[in-house]
Amino acid sequence: MAFAASTACCKPSALLAPRASSSSPLRAQALLCSPSTSAKFHGLRAPASAFAVAPVPRRRAASTGIVCGKVSKGSVPPNFTLKDQDGKTVSLSKFKGKPVVLYFYPADETPGCTKQACAFRDSYEKYKKAGAEVIGISGDDAASHKAFAKKYRLPFTLLSDEGNKVRKEWGVPSDLFGTLPGRQTYVLDKKGVVQYIYNNQFQPEKHIGETLKIIENL
C-alpha cells in the first residue's frame, strides 16, 4: 500500500515510512517530517483549505470614556436660562457685551469645589476690574447654592442646572473615571464667543490663574 502524508509528528513509523536507500538513511525520515499542504491517500487529494488556520479575531480597543465637548474655542455656545441662588431666572444672553468666566463644577460643599469657589472669590475684584462676570454652574438646587454662597461669602452668581441639561448641551466631559461631573471653565469675550477652555479636575485653584491671564488680555 502506498501512503505519503504530512503530519506534525516527527517520529517515523516503520510501517508507513518509504523504503530508504542505504546511501541516504535520513532522507526517508525527512520526507515524513516535512510539512506539506497536500496529502495523498488512495489517490485522494486533501484541499489546501483543510490545513488553514482560523484567523484570531482582533480585540476591540477599550473606550477611553473621554467625551469631546460640543462647545469649542471660537464657537458661540447655546443660550440657557437657569435659576440663581436667589431663585431668580438668569440667561446667558444677559451678559453679552462683557467678558464672562463661566465654570462648571461637580457640587457644592465638596473640598475641591469649595477651594475653587473661594479662589474665585479672592480674585473677584481682579475680574471686576477687567469688566468680567464670574458664573458658577452645578447640578445643585437654588437652596443649596444659597447656603453655599452665604457660608463662604461668594460675591458672584451660582446657577442651578438640575438634571445637568446645560452641562450636556455644552458637552462638558465627566472626570477621568466617568463617575463625577467634570470641572471645566469657559472664557467668553464681549461678543459671546468662546476664547478659552480650561479643564482640570484635580487642581481647582488653577482655573482662576489661567482664566485671569486670558481676561486681562481680551
Q: Is 124 exposed, middle or buried (0-12, 13-18, 19+ CB in 10 A)?
A: middle
194-203 long-range contacts, CB within 8 A, separation 24+: 194/71, 194/72, 194/73, 194/74, 194/75, 194/76, 194/77, 195/73, 196/73, 197/69, 197/71, 197/72, 197/73, 199/173, 201/112, 201/175, 201/176, 202/112
Listed in order, strand segments (DSSP E) in 19-77 are 40-41, 44-45
On whether the CB atoms of residues 38 and 139 are closer than 8 A, the answer is: no
Identify whether 113 is a catalytic site residue: yes
> Cα 209 to the chain's mean position, in Å?
25
The single residue of 9, 33, 68, 113 carrying the catalytic annotation is 113
**Cβ proximity of 139 and 162 under 8 Å:** yes
What are the cell numbers at 185?
471653565
Q: Is the dihedral of CA 154, 158, 160, 161 positive or negative?
A: negative
Annotated catalytic residues are 113
